Chain A
Amino acid sequence: MATLNLIDVKKSYGKDEVIHGVNFDIHDKEFVVIVGPSGCGKSTLLRMMAGLETVTAGEIKIKDRRVNELEPMERNIAMVFQNYALYPHMSVFDNMAYSLKIAKLGKAEIKARVDNAAKLLQLSEYLKRKPRQLSGGQRQRVAMGRAIVRKPDVFLFDEPLSNLDAKLRVQMRLEIKKLQRDLGVTSVYVTHDQVEAMTLGDRLMVLNGGYVEQFGSPIDLYERPASLFVAEFIGSPSMNIIDGHAADGVVELVNGVRLPGSSEVAGAVKAGIRPEHLSLDPAGVIAIRKGVAEQLGSSTLVHGTLDGSDIAISVALPGVHREEQLDDVMCFSVMEQGLHLFSADGKRV
Protein backbone atom coordinates (compact mmCIF):
# COMPACT_ATOMS: atom_id res chain seq x y z
CA MET A 1 0.00 0.00 0.00
CA ALA A 2 2.37 2.66 -1.16
CA THR A 3 0.87 6.07 -1.59
CA LEU A 4 2.81 9.20 -2.43
CA ASN A 5 1.68 12.67 -1.42
CA LEU A 6 3.12 16.05 -2.24
CA ILE A 7 1.87 18.89 -0.09
CA ASP A 8 2.64 22.40 -1.32
CA VAL A 9 6.13 21.38 -2.38
CA LYS A 10 8.42 24.23 -3.42
CA LYS A 11 11.97 24.39 -4.64
CA SER A 12 14.25 27.38 -4.85
CA TYR A 13 17.84 27.77 -5.96
CA GLY A 14 18.97 30.81 -4.07
CA LYS A 15 16.26 33.36 -4.77
CA ASP A 16 14.94 31.62 -7.87
CA GLU A 17 11.84 29.61 -7.16
CA VAL A 18 11.54 26.89 -9.79
CA ILE A 19 8.72 24.79 -8.31
CA HIS A 20 5.84 26.90 -7.05
CA GLY A 21 3.83 24.81 -4.63
CA VAL A 22 2.87 21.45 -6.11
CA ASN A 23 0.08 19.38 -4.52
CA PHE A 24 -0.94 15.91 -5.53
CA ASP A 25 -1.81 12.48 -4.19
CA ILE A 26 -0.77 9.30 -5.94
CA HIS A 27 -2.71 6.18 -5.07
CA ASP A 28 -1.30 2.77 -4.42
CA LYS A 29 -0.22 0.93 -7.61
CA GLU A 30 -0.97 3.99 -9.68
CA PHE A 31 1.19 4.99 -12.66
CA VAL A 32 1.49 8.77 -12.81
CA VAL A 33 3.32 10.56 -15.60
CA ILE A 34 4.68 14.05 -15.17
CA VAL A 35 4.96 15.69 -18.56
CA GLY A 36 6.09 19.08 -19.69
CA PRO A 37 8.57 20.90 -21.89
CA SER A 38 12.25 20.92 -20.96
CA GLY A 39 13.02 23.22 -18.06
CA CYS A 40 9.51 23.01 -16.62
CA GLY A 41 10.83 21.51 -13.37
CA LYS A 42 9.58 17.95 -13.87
CA SER A 43 12.95 16.34 -13.29
CA THR A 44 13.60 18.52 -10.27
CA LEU A 45 10.28 17.44 -8.82
CA LEU A 46 11.12 13.77 -9.38
CA ARG A 47 14.58 14.20 -7.88
CA MET A 48 13.01 15.78 -4.81
CA MET A 49 10.82 12.70 -4.41
CA ALA A 50 13.94 10.56 -4.79
CA GLY A 51 15.84 12.53 -2.17
CA LEU A 52 18.51 13.74 -4.59
CA GLU A 53 17.39 17.35 -4.18
CA THR A 54 16.41 19.02 -0.95
CA VAL A 55 12.84 20.22 -0.51
CA THR A 56 12.75 23.99 0.06
CA ALA A 57 9.21 24.07 1.46
CA GLY A 58 6.28 21.72 1.81
CA GLU A 59 6.18 18.05 2.53
CA ILE A 60 6.67 14.79 0.66
CA LYS A 61 5.09 11.67 2.12
CA ILE A 62 5.58 8.07 1.09
CA LYS A 63 3.19 5.61 2.73
CA ASP A 64 1.99 8.50 4.90
CA ARG A 65 5.46 8.99 6.32
CA ARG A 66 7.26 12.31 5.93
CA VAL A 67 10.45 11.64 3.95
CA ASN A 68 11.86 15.14 3.42
CA GLU A 69 14.90 14.49 5.57
CA LEU A 70 15.52 10.87 4.56
CA GLU A 71 18.34 9.62 2.34
CA PRO A 72 17.19 8.10 -0.96
CA MET A 73 17.79 4.58 0.27
CA GLU A 74 15.76 5.12 3.44
CA ARG A 75 12.76 6.19 1.36
CA ASN A 76 12.69 2.75 -0.25
CA ILE A 77 12.37 4.13 -3.74
CA ALA A 78 14.10 2.96 -6.90
CA MET A 79 15.05 5.20 -9.76
CA VAL A 80 15.68 4.59 -13.46
CA PHE A 81 17.88 7.27 -14.99
CA GLN A 82 17.82 8.75 -18.44
CA ASN A 83 21.33 7.54 -19.29
CA TYR A 84 20.78 4.34 -17.28
CA ALA A 85 23.70 5.18 -14.92
CA LEU A 86 24.98 1.62 -14.98
CA TYR A 87 28.28 1.06 -13.21
CA PRO A 88 30.57 0.51 -16.21
CA HIS A 89 33.10 -1.74 -14.45
CA MET A 90 30.52 -4.12 -12.96
CA SER A 91 28.82 -7.05 -14.64
CA VAL A 92 25.07 -6.99 -15.22
CA PHE A 93 24.67 -9.23 -12.18
CA ASP A 94 26.76 -6.95 -9.96
CA ASN A 95 24.94 -3.89 -11.20
CA MET A 96 21.63 -5.36 -10.14
CA ALA A 97 23.00 -6.82 -6.92
CA TYR A 98 24.81 -3.69 -5.73
CA SER A 99 22.02 -2.21 -3.63
CA LEU A 100 21.26 -5.62 -2.13
CA LYS A 101 24.91 -6.08 -1.16
CA ILE A 102 24.89 -2.70 0.53
CA ALA A 103 21.71 -3.71 2.34
CA LYS A 104 23.68 -6.76 3.50
CA LEU A 105 21.29 -9.37 2.17
CA GLY A 106 22.44 -12.99 2.12
CA LYS A 107 24.20 -14.34 -0.96
CA ALA A 108 21.44 -16.81 -1.75
CA GLU A 109 18.74 -14.18 -1.41
CA ILE A 110 20.64 -11.76 -3.65
CA LYS A 111 21.13 -14.43 -6.30
CA ALA A 112 17.48 -15.44 -6.16
CA ARG A 113 16.26 -11.88 -6.54
CA VAL A 114 18.63 -11.00 -9.36
CA ASP A 115 17.90 -14.23 -11.22
CA ASN A 116 14.22 -13.59 -10.86
CA ALA A 117 14.46 -10.05 -12.19
CA ALA A 118 16.75 -11.17 -15.00
CA LYS A 119 14.22 -13.80 -16.05
CA LEU A 120 11.43 -11.26 -15.99
CA LEU A 121 13.46 -8.94 -18.21
CA GLN A 122 14.97 -11.65 -20.45
CA LEU A 123 18.47 -10.82 -19.26
CA SER A 124 19.40 -14.24 -17.88
CA GLU A 125 22.06 -14.98 -20.51
CA TYR A 126 23.70 -11.57 -20.15
CA LEU A 127 24.35 -11.58 -16.41
CA LYS A 128 28.11 -11.92 -16.81
CA ARG A 129 28.47 -9.16 -19.39
CA LYS A 130 29.62 -5.61 -18.81
CA PRO A 131 27.24 -2.78 -19.72
CA ARG A 132 29.35 -1.75 -22.73
CA GLN A 133 28.75 -5.18 -24.27
CA LEU A 134 24.99 -4.64 -24.28
CA SER A 135 22.66 -2.92 -26.72
CA GLY A 136 20.72 0.18 -25.74
CA GLY A 137 17.55 -1.76 -25.04
CA GLN A 138 19.39 -4.30 -22.92
CA ARG A 139 21.04 -1.56 -20.88
CA GLN A 140 17.63 -0.07 -20.35
CA ARG A 141 16.42 -3.45 -19.03
CA VAL A 142 19.37 -3.72 -16.67
CA ALA A 143 18.49 -0.31 -15.28
CA MET A 144 14.95 -1.58 -14.78
CA GLY A 145 16.26 -4.75 -13.19
CA ARG A 146 18.33 -2.76 -10.76
CA ALA A 147 15.15 -1.01 -9.69
CA ILE A 148 13.07 -4.17 -9.46
CA VAL A 149 15.37 -6.29 -7.29
CA ARG A 150 15.04 -3.90 -4.40
CA LYS A 151 11.27 -4.42 -4.15
CA PRO A 152 10.80 -0.69 -3.64
CA ASP A 153 7.61 1.06 -2.58
CA VAL A 154 7.87 3.52 -5.46
CA PHE A 155 9.49 3.46 -8.89
CA LEU A 156 10.77 6.77 -10.20
CA PHE A 157 11.54 7.02 -13.92
CA ASP A 158 13.49 9.99 -15.27
CA GLU A 159 12.95 10.02 -19.05
CA PRO A 160 14.17 6.45 -19.28
CA LEU A 161 13.44 5.96 -22.97
CA SER A 162 14.80 9.15 -24.47
CA ASN A 163 18.16 7.59 -25.41
CA LEU A 164 16.57 4.81 -27.47
CA ASP A 165 15.65 4.85 -31.13
CA ALA A 166 11.99 5.27 -32.06
CA LYS A 167 11.13 1.63 -32.64
CA LEU A 168 12.75 0.42 -29.45
CA ARG A 169 11.09 3.21 -27.54
CA VAL A 170 7.64 1.93 -28.48
CA GLN A 171 8.58 -1.61 -27.53
CA MET A 172 10.12 -0.65 -24.18
CA ARG A 173 7.15 1.57 -23.43
CA LEU A 174 4.88 -1.45 -23.60
CA GLU A 175 7.27 -3.50 -21.50
CA ILE A 176 7.40 -0.86 -18.80
CA LYS A 177 3.63 -0.61 -18.74
CA LYS A 178 3.23 -4.38 -18.48
CA LEU A 179 5.91 -4.69 -15.84
CA GLN A 180 4.36 -1.98 -13.71
CA ARG A 181 0.94 -3.68 -13.93
CA ASP A 182 2.39 -7.08 -13.07
CA LEU A 183 4.46 -5.85 -10.16
CA GLY A 184 1.84 -3.40 -8.95
CA VAL A 185 4.35 -0.84 -7.77
CA THR A 186 3.35 2.81 -7.46
CA SER A 187 5.26 4.67 -10.17
CA VAL A 188 6.10 8.22 -11.16
CA TYR A 189 7.41 8.71 -14.67
CA VAL A 190 8.86 11.89 -16.11
CA THR A 191 8.91 12.60 -19.83
CA HIS A 192 8.71 15.42 -22.31
CA ASP A 193 7.11 13.12 -24.89
CA GLN A 194 3.33 13.51 -24.76
CA VAL A 195 2.71 10.25 -26.67
CA GLU A 196 4.69 8.36 -24.04
CA ALA A 197 2.75 10.20 -21.36
CA MET A 198 -0.65 9.42 -22.88
CA THR A 199 0.06 5.74 -23.40
CA LEU A 200 1.74 5.02 -20.07
CA GLY A 201 0.00 7.01 -17.41
CA ASP A 202 -3.06 6.16 -15.40
CA ARG A 203 -3.01 9.85 -14.67
CA LEU A 204 -1.00 12.68 -16.18
CA MET A 205 0.33 15.82 -14.62
CA VAL A 206 1.20 18.61 -17.02
CA LEU A 207 3.87 20.87 -15.56
CA ASN A 208 4.73 24.24 -17.01
CA GLY A 209 7.20 26.72 -15.57
CA GLY A 210 7.02 25.09 -12.16
CA TYR A 211 3.22 25.23 -12.01
CA VAL A 212 0.82 22.33 -12.40
CA GLU A 213 -1.38 23.06 -15.42
CA GLN A 214 -3.61 20.03 -15.08
CA PHE A 215 -3.67 16.67 -13.35
CA GLY A 216 -6.03 13.98 -14.61
CA SER A 217 -6.54 10.92 -16.77
CA PRO A 218 -5.09 11.03 -20.32
CA ILE A 219 -8.58 11.13 -21.81
CA ASP A 220 -9.60 13.98 -19.49
CA LEU A 221 -6.63 15.97 -20.60
CA TYR A 222 -7.35 15.25 -24.23
CA GLU A 223 -11.05 15.92 -24.09
CA ARG A 224 -11.14 18.74 -21.61
CA PRO A 225 -7.79 20.53 -21.51
CA ALA A 226 -7.85 22.96 -18.60
CA SER A 227 -5.69 25.51 -20.32
CA LEU A 228 -4.42 26.61 -23.66
CA PHE A 229 -1.01 25.20 -22.73
CA VAL A 230 -2.38 21.72 -22.07
CA ALA A 231 -4.52 21.92 -25.19
CA GLU A 232 -1.49 22.61 -27.35
CA PHE A 233 0.82 20.23 -25.52
CA ILE A 234 -1.39 17.13 -25.45
CA GLY A 235 -2.37 15.55 -28.74
CA SER A 236 -0.47 15.05 -31.95
CA PRO A 237 -0.62 16.82 -34.31
CA SER A 238 -1.31 19.66 -31.97
CA MET A 239 -4.51 21.63 -31.70
CA ASN A 240 -5.28 24.52 -34.06
CA ILE A 241 -5.74 27.76 -32.16
CA ILE A 242 -7.65 30.60 -33.78
CA ASP A 243 -8.48 34.00 -32.28
CA GLY A 244 -12.15 34.82 -32.06
CA HIS A 245 -14.88 36.68 -30.31
CA ALA A 246 -17.79 35.13 -28.38
CA ALA A 247 -21.21 36.65 -27.89
CA ASP A 248 -24.74 35.28 -27.49
CA GLY A 249 -23.75 31.67 -27.85
CA VAL A 250 -21.85 32.24 -31.06
CA VAL A 251 -18.11 32.38 -31.66
CA GLU A 252 -16.95 34.51 -34.53
CA LEU A 253 -13.47 33.64 -35.74
CA VAL A 254 -11.11 36.39 -36.98
CA ASN A 255 -11.90 35.58 -40.60
CA GLY A 256 -15.60 36.05 -39.96
CA VAL A 257 -16.63 32.42 -39.76
CA ARG A 258 -19.27 31.85 -37.11
CA LEU A 259 -19.45 28.69 -35.04
CA PRO A 260 -21.99 27.70 -32.41
CA GLY A 261 -20.40 28.24 -28.96
CA SER A 262 -21.49 28.37 -25.35
CA SER A 263 -23.96 30.93 -24.21
CA GLU A 264 -21.99 31.54 -21.02
CA VAL A 265 -18.97 32.93 -22.78
CA ALA A 266 -18.55 36.45 -23.98
CA GLY A 267 -15.66 38.59 -25.17
CA ALA A 268 -12.30 37.81 -26.79
CA VAL A 269 -11.55 34.08 -26.86
CA LYS A 270 -9.12 31.65 -28.38
CA ALA A 271 -10.86 28.83 -30.18
CA GLY A 272 -9.15 25.43 -30.29
CA ILE A 273 -10.00 22.66 -32.73
CA ARG A 274 -8.02 19.44 -32.98
CA PRO A 275 -7.00 18.51 -36.56
CA GLU A 276 -8.79 15.17 -36.19
CA HIS A 277 -12.01 16.89 -35.15
CA LEU A 278 -12.52 18.59 -38.50
CA SER A 279 -14.47 16.48 -40.98
CA LEU A 280 -14.76 16.99 -44.73
CA ASP A 281 -18.21 18.44 -45.31
CA PRO A 282 -19.13 20.36 -48.51
CA ALA A 283 -21.62 22.27 -46.38
CA GLY A 284 -19.10 23.02 -43.65
CA VAL A 285 -18.37 26.62 -42.72
CA ILE A 286 -14.61 26.27 -42.29
CA ALA A 287 -12.91 26.66 -45.67
CA ILE A 288 -9.25 25.69 -45.82
CA ARG A 289 -6.84 26.52 -48.61
CA LYS A 290 -4.55 23.54 -49.16
CA GLY A 291 -0.81 23.93 -48.54
CA VAL A 292 1.01 20.62 -48.34
CA ALA A 293 -0.31 17.15 -47.53
CA GLU A 294 1.71 14.68 -45.45
CA GLN A 295 0.93 11.01 -46.05
CA LEU A 296 1.08 9.03 -42.83
CA GLY A 297 -0.68 6.01 -44.30
CA SER A 298 -3.40 5.60 -41.73
CA SER A 299 -4.23 9.28 -42.12
CA THR A 300 -3.30 12.29 -44.18
CA LEU A 301 -2.25 15.55 -42.63
CA VAL A 302 -3.22 18.58 -44.63
CA HIS A 303 -1.52 21.83 -43.70
CA GLY A 304 -3.01 24.99 -45.06
CA THR A 305 -4.51 28.34 -44.16
CA LEU A 306 -8.00 29.43 -43.28
CA ASP A 307 -9.39 30.63 -46.59
CA GLY A 308 -9.28 34.37 -46.77
CA SER A 309 -6.61 34.74 -44.10
CA ASP A 310 -3.06 33.67 -43.41
CA ILE A 311 -3.89 31.74 -40.23
CA ALA A 312 -2.19 28.34 -40.34
CA ILE A 313 -4.41 25.35 -39.77
CA SER A 314 -3.95 21.59 -39.97
CA VAL A 315 -6.47 18.86 -40.64
CA ALA A 316 -6.13 15.09 -40.19
CA LEU A 317 -8.08 13.14 -42.77
CA PRO A 318 -8.50 9.44 -42.11
CA GLY A 319 -6.97 7.15 -44.76
CA VAL A 320 -4.94 7.94 -47.85
CA HIS A 321 -5.63 11.10 -49.87
CA ARG A 322 -3.34 11.88 -52.79
CA GLU A 323 -2.36 15.50 -52.74
CA GLU A 324 -3.29 16.08 -56.39
CA GLN A 325 -6.77 14.66 -55.80
CA LEU A 326 -7.53 17.10 -53.01
CA ASP A 327 -9.32 20.32 -53.88
CA ASP A 328 -7.43 23.55 -53.43
CA VAL A 329 -10.08 24.82 -51.07
CA MET A 330 -11.91 22.30 -48.90
CA CYS A 331 -14.78 22.82 -46.52
CA PHE A 332 -14.95 21.27 -43.08
CA SER A 333 -17.35 21.15 -40.20
CA VAL A 334 -16.38 20.80 -36.56
CA MET A 335 -17.34 17.52 -34.88
CA GLU A 336 -19.48 17.50 -31.79
CA GLN A 337 -17.53 18.53 -28.65
CA GLY A 338 -14.70 19.49 -31.01
CA LEU A 339 -14.57 23.17 -30.15
CA HIS A 340 -12.58 24.27 -27.08
CA LEU A 341 -12.72 27.84 -25.90
CA PHE A 342 -10.11 29.58 -23.82
CA SER A 343 -10.10 33.01 -22.31
CA ALA A 344 -7.41 35.54 -23.19
CA ASP A 345 -5.32 34.44 -20.18
CA GLY A 346 -5.35 30.83 -21.38
CA LYS A 347 -7.93 29.34 -19.01
CA ARG A 348 -10.61 27.03 -20.32
CA VAL A 349 -14.05 28.64 -20.46
Chain B
Amino acid sequence: MFLEFLSYAFLRRALLSGLLISISAALVGSSLVLKRYAMIGDGLSHVGFAALAIAMIFSWSPLLVALPIVILAAFLLLRISENNPLRGDAAVAMISSAAMAISILLISVTKGMNTDVFSFMFGSILSLSDSDMILSVVLSVVVVLFYLISYNKIFAVTFDEVFAESSGISSNFWNSVLAVLAAVTIVLGMRMMGALLISSLIIFPPITAMRLFGSFKQVSIVSVLVSVATFLIGIFSSYALNLPTGPAIVIANILFFLFFSFLRQLRRRKKVTVGGQE
Protein backbone atom coordinates (compact mmCIF):
# COMPACT_ATOMS: atom_id res chain seq x y z
CA MET B 1 0.00 0.00 0.00
CA PHE B 2 2.89 2.30 0.78
CA LEU B 3 4.26 1.96 -2.76
CA GLU B 4 0.84 2.53 -4.18
CA PHE B 5 0.63 5.67 -2.03
CA LEU B 6 3.93 6.93 -3.40
CA SER B 7 2.92 6.30 -7.00
CA TYR B 8 0.66 9.35 -6.93
CA ALA B 9 2.47 12.62 -7.64
CA PHE B 10 0.06 14.66 -5.51
CA LEU B 11 0.64 12.36 -2.55
CA ARG B 12 4.41 12.59 -2.91
CA ARG B 13 4.13 16.37 -2.95
CA ALA B 14 1.92 16.31 0.11
CA LEU B 15 4.26 13.95 1.93
CA LEU B 16 7.40 15.95 1.29
CA SER B 17 6.05 19.39 2.14
CA GLY B 18 3.97 18.05 5.04
CA LEU B 19 7.02 16.44 6.64
CA LEU B 20 9.06 19.62 6.40
CA ILE B 21 6.22 21.79 7.69
CA SER B 22 5.70 19.39 10.61
CA ILE B 23 9.37 19.68 11.54
CA SER B 24 9.37 23.48 11.48
CA ALA B 25 6.07 23.69 13.36
CA ALA B 26 7.42 21.48 16.15
CA LEU B 27 10.62 23.52 16.54
CA VAL B 28 9.01 26.94 16.42
CA GLY B 29 6.14 25.64 18.56
CA SER B 30 8.46 24.64 21.42
CA SER B 31 9.59 28.22 21.83
CA LEU B 32 6.13 29.71 21.36
CA VAL B 33 4.54 27.43 23.94
CA LEU B 34 7.30 28.03 26.48
CA LYS B 35 7.10 31.79 26.02
CA ARG B 36 3.33 31.60 26.62
CA TYR B 37 2.73 32.76 23.05
CA ALA B 38 0.58 29.80 22.00
CA MET B 39 -2.45 32.07 21.61
CA ILE B 40 -0.53 34.23 19.15
CA GLY B 41 -0.21 31.21 16.89
CA ASP B 42 -3.96 30.79 17.01
CA GLY B 43 -4.52 34.49 16.28
CA LEU B 44 -2.14 34.37 13.32
CA SER B 45 -4.05 31.53 11.73
CA HIS B 46 -7.21 33.62 11.67
CA VAL B 47 -5.39 36.56 10.17
CA GLY B 48 -3.97 34.09 7.66
CA PHE B 49 -7.48 33.00 6.78
CA ALA B 50 -8.43 36.61 6.05
CA ALA B 51 -5.35 36.94 3.84
CA LEU B 52 -6.28 33.79 1.94
CA ALA B 53 -9.81 35.11 1.46
CA ILE B 54 -8.45 38.31 -0.06
CA ALA B 55 -6.09 36.36 -2.30
CA MET B 56 -8.97 34.19 -3.47
CA ILE B 57 -11.20 37.15 -4.30
CA PHE B 58 -8.52 38.71 -6.52
CA SER B 59 -7.24 35.32 -7.74
CA TRP B 60 -3.75 36.03 -6.40
CA SER B 61 -1.31 33.40 -5.15
CA PRO B 62 -2.60 32.49 -1.66
CA LEU B 63 0.82 31.95 -0.09
CA LEU B 64 2.39 35.11 -1.48
CA VAL B 65 -0.46 37.26 -0.18
CA ALA B 66 -0.70 35.56 3.19
CA LEU B 67 3.03 35.64 4.03
CA PRO B 68 3.55 39.40 4.31
CA ILE B 69 0.17 39.98 5.99
CA VAL B 70 0.71 37.29 8.61
CA ILE B 71 4.29 38.42 9.28
CA LEU B 72 3.00 41.95 9.91
CA ALA B 73 0.27 40.59 12.16
CA ALA B 74 2.86 38.57 14.07
CA PHE B 75 4.84 41.74 14.87
CA LEU B 76 1.64 43.48 15.93
CA LEU B 77 0.42 40.65 18.18
CA LEU B 78 3.84 40.30 19.76
CA ARG B 79 3.95 44.01 20.62
CA ILE B 80 0.44 43.86 22.09
CA SER B 81 1.26 40.83 24.26
CA GLU B 82 4.50 42.36 25.50
CA ASN B 83 3.11 45.74 26.40
CA ASN B 84 -0.11 44.42 27.82
CA PRO B 85 0.52 41.21 29.71
CA LEU B 86 -2.91 41.32 31.33
CA ARG B 87 -5.08 42.07 28.34
CA GLY B 88 -2.77 40.65 25.67
CA ASP B 89 -4.78 37.48 25.25
CA ALA B 90 -8.02 39.44 24.98
CA ALA B 91 -6.45 41.62 22.27
CA VAL B 92 -5.30 38.51 20.40
CA ALA B 93 -8.81 37.04 20.59
CA MET B 94 -10.30 40.31 19.34
CA ILE B 95 -7.96 40.42 16.36
CA SER B 96 -8.66 36.76 15.53
CA SER B 97 -12.42 37.15 15.53
CA ALA B 98 -12.23 40.47 13.70
CA ALA B 99 -10.09 38.87 10.98
CA MET B 100 -12.48 35.93 10.75
CA ALA B 101 -15.56 38.17 10.51
CA ILE B 102 -14.02 40.35 7.83
CA SER B 103 -12.95 37.38 5.74
CA ILE B 104 -16.35 35.62 5.93
CA LEU B 105 -18.07 38.87 5.02
CA LEU B 106 -15.75 39.49 2.06
CA ILE B 107 -16.18 35.95 0.82
CA SER B 108 -19.96 35.94 1.05
CA VAL B 109 -20.43 39.26 -0.77
CA THR B 110 -18.02 38.29 -3.57
CA LYS B 111 -17.71 34.62 -4.45
CA GLY B 112 -19.85 32.98 -1.80
CA MET B 113 -18.80 29.95 0.25
CA ASN B 114 -17.15 27.43 -2.05
CA THR B 115 -14.76 24.51 -1.86
CA ASP B 116 -11.74 26.83 -1.82
CA VAL B 117 -13.01 28.45 1.34
CA PHE B 118 -13.52 25.10 2.99
CA SER B 119 -10.02 24.04 2.04
CA PHE B 120 -8.63 27.19 3.68
CA MET B 121 -10.60 26.44 6.81
CA PHE B 122 -9.91 22.75 7.11
CA GLY B 123 -6.82 22.25 4.99
CA SER B 124 -6.22 20.51 1.70
CA ILE B 125 -2.69 19.28 1.52
CA LEU B 126 -3.67 16.86 -1.21
CA SER B 127 -4.45 19.71 -3.58
CA LEU B 128 -0.98 21.28 -3.35
CA SER B 129 0.27 22.60 -6.68
CA ASP B 130 3.89 22.24 -7.81
CA SER B 131 4.68 25.89 -7.14
CA ASP B 132 3.05 25.73 -3.69
CA MET B 133 5.11 22.68 -2.91
CA ILE B 134 8.38 24.28 -3.96
CA LEU B 135 7.61 27.36 -1.87
CA SER B 136 6.63 25.25 1.15
CA VAL B 137 9.74 23.12 0.90
CA VAL B 138 12.11 26.06 0.47
CA LEU B 139 10.56 28.12 3.27
CA SER B 140 10.33 25.32 5.79
CA VAL B 141 13.93 24.34 5.10
CA VAL B 142 14.87 27.98 5.73
CA VAL B 143 12.88 28.01 8.99
CA VAL B 144 14.51 24.80 10.21
CA LEU B 145 18.04 25.85 9.25
CA PHE B 146 17.63 29.26 10.82
CA TYR B 147 16.27 27.69 13.98
CA LEU B 148 19.20 25.29 14.20
CA ILE B 149 21.80 28.01 13.58
CA SER B 150 20.28 30.26 16.26
CA TYR B 151 19.31 27.42 18.60
CA ASN B 152 21.39 28.55 21.59
CA LYS B 153 20.24 32.15 21.36
CA ILE B 154 16.61 31.13 20.90
CA PHE B 155 16.94 28.96 23.99
CA ALA B 156 18.41 31.84 26.00
CA VAL B 157 15.67 34.26 24.98
CA THR B 158 12.96 31.66 25.56
CA PHE B 159 14.23 30.71 29.00
CA ASP B 160 15.07 34.14 30.39
CA GLU B 161 14.70 37.30 28.32
CA VAL B 162 16.11 39.55 31.03
CA PHE B 163 19.29 37.58 31.46
CA ALA B 164 19.68 37.21 27.69
CA GLU B 165 19.41 40.98 27.38
CA SER B 166 22.13 41.44 30.01
CA SER B 167 24.39 39.22 27.87
CA GLY B 168 23.91 41.51 24.91
CA ILE B 169 21.28 39.33 23.18
CA SER B 170 18.49 41.68 22.08
CA SER B 171 15.21 40.11 23.15
CA ASN B 172 13.37 42.49 20.82
CA PHE B 173 15.30 41.24 17.83
CA TRP B 174 14.98 37.57 18.71
CA ASN B 175 11.30 37.84 19.55
CA SER B 176 10.80 39.40 16.13
CA VAL B 177 12.77 36.57 14.55
CA LEU B 178 10.55 34.11 16.35
CA ALA B 179 7.46 36.01 15.19
CA VAL B 180 8.60 35.78 11.56
CA LEU B 181 9.40 32.07 11.87
CA ALA B 182 6.00 31.48 13.47
CA ALA B 183 4.21 33.47 10.78
CA VAL B 184 5.90 31.58 7.94
CA THR B 185 5.24 28.24 9.60
CA ILE B 186 1.58 29.05 10.15
CA VAL B 187 1.00 30.23 6.60
CA LEU B 188 2.62 27.09 5.20
CA GLY B 189 0.83 24.87 7.68
CA MET B 190 -2.55 26.33 6.78
CA ARG B 191 -2.49 24.56 3.43
CA MET B 192 -2.16 21.32 5.30
CA MET B 193 -4.25 21.84 8.41
CA GLY B 194 -6.52 24.75 7.56
CA ALA B 195 -6.92 27.96 9.51
CA LEU B 196 -8.98 26.30 12.20
CA LEU B 197 -6.57 23.47 12.96
CA ILE B 198 -3.08 24.85 12.31
CA SER B 199 -2.42 25.91 15.88
CA SER B 200 -2.66 22.25 16.93
CA LEU B 201 0.39 21.54 14.77
CA ILE B 202 2.36 24.12 16.75
CA ILE B 203 1.06 23.37 20.22
CA PHE B 204 0.47 19.63 20.53
CA PRO B 205 3.93 18.19 19.74
CA PRO B 206 5.90 20.36 22.21
CA ILE B 207 3.32 19.96 24.98
CA THR B 208 3.34 16.20 24.41
CA ALA B 209 7.15 16.09 24.52
CA MET B 210 7.19 18.13 27.75
CA ARG B 211 5.07 15.48 29.46
CA LEU B 212 8.08 13.19 29.60
CA PHE B 213 11.23 15.13 28.82
CA GLY B 214 12.99 17.71 30.93
CA SER B 215 15.67 19.32 28.79
CA PHE B 216 15.13 21.82 25.98
CA LYS B 217 17.10 19.70 23.53
CA GLN B 218 15.09 16.58 24.34
CA VAL B 219 11.83 18.52 24.10
CA SER B 220 12.86 19.94 20.71
CA ILE B 221 13.91 16.56 19.30
CA VAL B 222 10.98 14.61 20.69
CA SER B 223 8.46 17.19 19.56
CA VAL B 224 9.88 16.94 16.03
CA LEU B 225 9.55 13.15 16.22
CA VAL B 226 5.98 13.38 17.55
CA SER B 227 5.09 15.90 14.87
CA VAL B 228 6.51 13.74 12.07
CA ALA B 229 4.88 10.58 13.46
CA THR B 230 1.45 12.18 13.85
CA PHE B 231 1.70 13.66 10.36
CA LEU B 232 2.53 10.26 8.83
CA ILE B 233 -0.22 8.52 10.78
CA GLY B 234 -2.64 11.28 9.80
CA ILE B 235 -1.87 11.30 6.10
CA PHE B 236 -1.79 7.48 5.71
CA SER B 237 -5.01 6.99 7.61
CA SER B 238 -6.59 9.76 5.61
CA TYR B 239 -5.53 7.92 2.44
CA ALA B 240 -6.50 4.47 3.63
CA LEU B 241 -9.75 5.33 5.40
CA ASN B 242 -10.73 8.31 3.28
CA LEU B 243 -10.63 10.76 6.21
CA PRO B 244 -9.85 14.49 5.98
CA THR B 245 -6.09 14.91 6.52
CA GLY B 246 -6.01 17.83 8.99
CA PRO B 247 -8.45 16.37 11.51
CA ALA B 248 -6.75 12.96 11.22
CA ILE B 249 -3.43 14.58 12.19
CA VAL B 250 -5.03 16.35 15.16
CA ILE B 251 -6.61 13.08 16.37
CA ALA B 252 -3.21 11.38 16.12
CA ASN B 253 -1.77 14.24 18.19
CA ILE B 254 -4.45 13.83 20.84
CA LEU B 255 -3.68 10.12 21.10
CA PHE B 256 0.05 10.78 21.46
CA PHE B 257 -0.63 13.39 24.11
CA LEU B 258 -2.83 10.99 26.10
CA PHE B 259 -0.26 8.22 25.76
CA PHE B 260 2.60 10.44 26.96
CA SER B 261 0.45 11.70 29.86
CA PHE B 262 -0.31 8.10 30.80
CA LEU B 263 3.40 7.24 30.80
CA ARG B 264 4.07 10.25 32.99
CA GLN B 265 1.50 9.07 35.50
CA LEU B 266 3.08 5.62 35.49
CA ARG B 267 6.48 7.09 36.12
CA ARG B 268 5.19 9.28 38.94
CA ARG B 269 3.62 6.30 40.58
CA LYS B 270 6.85 4.37 40.34
CA LYS B 271 8.73 7.46 41.48
CA VAL B 272 11.46 6.65 39.06
CA THR B 273 13.86 9.50 38.65
CA VAL B 274 15.98 8.89 35.63
CA GLY B 275 19.06 11.12 35.73
CA GLY B 276 19.00 12.52 32.22
CA GLN B 277 15.30 13.13 32.05
CA GLU B 278 13.65 14.09 35.25
A complexed with B: no
Identify the B interface with A (CB < 8 A).
Answer: none
